[in-house]
Structure 1
Amino acid sequence: MKKSIDISTDDGVAKAAIFRSDKHPDGTSAPGIILYMDAFGPRPTLDGMAQRLADHGYLVLLPDLFYRYGAYGPFTFASFSDPKERDEIMGMINGTTQAMTRSDTAAFLKVLDDEGASGAVGTVGYCMGGGRALTAAGAFPDRVVAAASFHGGGLATEQEDSPHRMAAKGKARIYVGNAGVDGSFPPEQSARLAEALRVAEIDYIIENYVGAAHGWTIPDRDGVYDERAAERHWKRLLDLFSETLG
């Protein structure tokens, strides 16, 4: 069950959608989850993934992180083959900073509360959203108890706002699922992330999906989607949320 909403933030109004199980109509309390999008924005494929989570008893929020740019797209995986569209996408990714998403997440959490989320919250992100999910865990340590990133890029760079620095400030259990070979999250970043989380005594798992390519979980990523690896990702994600959110 999907409901489209508008979220007022410090920088404007973000389009978003709330997903519920048919067993949890409006007003029914359920654990909340924020799903941070990939670079191609909210679309039917991500709606389907959000609904799959909701059908397991969660209240799922899927916000548009690119709302500051007004109307855009629609984009597909093929958009990266078009130089103009690729530049537009990369401009929005680079222009939507971790600090912006931290600020937005305060508004996202309020929406979950208003919609009936009960207590602790989980976050999950894909591609560019992976880092946002980890950042949220560190920015809101008293709310976010579980955070997952799948084929997330730039999770442990040398930048001051790198997600690994924020994640280490949180209390959440963290799961990171990597593509087998992924230029956006090379081995040195994986090592840096692991060190930061271990030193901070964070309960974490970093897992390689050998043979899977960047974007393997997303059904509309033609030529990249890997059904077997995607189902493995669903098992890991649902186990994480079941063990932390109930």
Structure 2
Amino acid sequence: MERVMAKQEIEIKTQDGSARAGLFRPAATAKAGVILYMDVFGPRPALDQMAERLAGNGYAVLVPDLFYRNVPYGPFDPKTAFAEEKSKAGLSALSGGTTQDMTIRDGSAFLDALVAEGVAGPVGVVGYCMGGARALNAAATYPDRIVAAASFHGGNLASDAPDSPHRKAASIKARVYVGTSGIDRSFPPEQSARLAEALRVAEVDHVIENYVGMGHGWCVPDHSVYDAAGAERHWKRLITLFAESLG
């Protein structure tokens, strides 16, 4: 692991306002840029920890606040947020009110922010929970810039919705890795099969891997279903994807 510089707080101008983001860099020159698409609980120390680990592997990692249109909000405790009616309603309003199209539009500003910070060249994206679909949609929308895309416990990757990522498979040029929870109501087996077919027909270089026994959120250290062994397996897959695609 490389030495990592202190977190840099930046503001990214988008078409709809200004998004705060954390930027994590290795002390040496970054190999490439990575955008980490957050889960539903928003930017927080647990995601900073994950971004620092990626930065320690040589990447400049941007963690934007996808809910910036609704600040201030939270903070939310992933262990209890969906058990409390007030926080559950708040999370539903935030996620429902931040559409895929909004995040797709923001993607251009996120990519440009990396360039403005001196991180040029191909980019990788990774998303967790709601960020999984957004990472894949970003890869489909910016295929000349994003060369690797990963989703972990992402929901609705091949749903009936018009903005479902599987519908844009033909636009993806990136290598794709999808890590799924063993049992996940937000990404049931029929969606996994639909996504696999769409990616294969589109001739996308991809892997869909089922993490048997893992719950939705197993990768993120402050989730109640966090699994250390499963998380390490996820890190191995993610680092390998980026090493082979980004250097």
TM norm structure 1: 0.96
Q: Write the letter of the residue equivalent to 2:65.
A: D
**1:47-104 superposed Cα distances (whole Å, 9 cap, x missing partner):** 0100100111101000000001110000011111111110110111111111101110
1:190 corresponds in structure 2 to: 192
Structure 1 position 199 matched with structure 2 position 204:
no
Q: Is the 8 A contact 2:35 2:124 kept in 1?
A: yes
Q: Report how many aligned residue pairs link the two structures.
A: 241
**Which ranges in structure 2 are unaligned for 5 or more consecutive residues?**
none
2:228 corresponds in structure 1 to: 227
SS in 2 for 1:157: coil
Q: Is the 8 A contact 1:137 1:166 kept in 2?
A: no
Q: Write the letter of the residue equivalent to 2:181.
A: A
1:36-51 maps to which residues of 2 (within 5 A)?
Answer: 36-51=37-52
1:112 corresponds in structure 2 to: 114
Among candidates 5, 14, 20, match of residue 19 of structure 2? 14
CA-CA distance at 1:129 after TM superposition: 0.3
Structure 2: distance between partners of 1:117 and 1:194 = 32
Structure 1: distance between partners of 2:113 and 2:226 = 31
CA-CA distance at 1:168 after TM superposition: 3.3
1:136 corresponds in structure 2 to: 138
Q: Is the 8 A contact 2:36 2:125 kept in 1?
A: yes
Q: Which is further off, 84-93 or 201-210?
A: 84-93
CA-CA distance at 1:229 after TM superposition: 0.4
Q: Write the letter of the residue equivalent to 2:147.
A: V
SS in 1 for 2:81: helix
Q: Is the 8 A contact 2:169 2:202 kept in 1?
A: no
2:177 corresponds in structure 1 to: 175
Structure 2: distance between partners of 1:178 and 1:51 = 23
Q: Which is further off, 35-44 or 114-123?
A: 114-123
Structure 1: distance between partners of 2:164 and 2:209 = 20
Structure 2: distance between partners of 1:63 and 1:11 = 14
Q: Is the 8 A contact 1:30 1:118 kept in 2?
A: no
1:72-111 maps to which residues of 2 (within 5 A)?
Answer: 72-77=73-78, 78-111=80-113
Q: Write the letter of the residue equivalent to 1:87.
A: A
CA-CA distance at 1:195 after TM superposition: 0.7
Structure 2: distance between partners of 1:167 and 1:143 = 16
Q: Is the 8 A contact 1:30 1:116 kept in 2?
A: no
TM norm structure 2: 0.96
Structure 2: distance between partners of 1:23 and 1:7 = 24
1:4 corresponds in structure 2 to: 9
Structure 1: distance between partners of 2:8 and 2:72 = 20
Structure 1: distance between partners of 2:72 and 2:205 = 39
Q: Runs (4+) of structure 1 moved beyond 6 Å?
A: none
Structure 1: distance between partners of 2:223 and 2:185 = 17
**Which ranges in structure 1 are unaligned for 5 or more consecutive residues?**
none
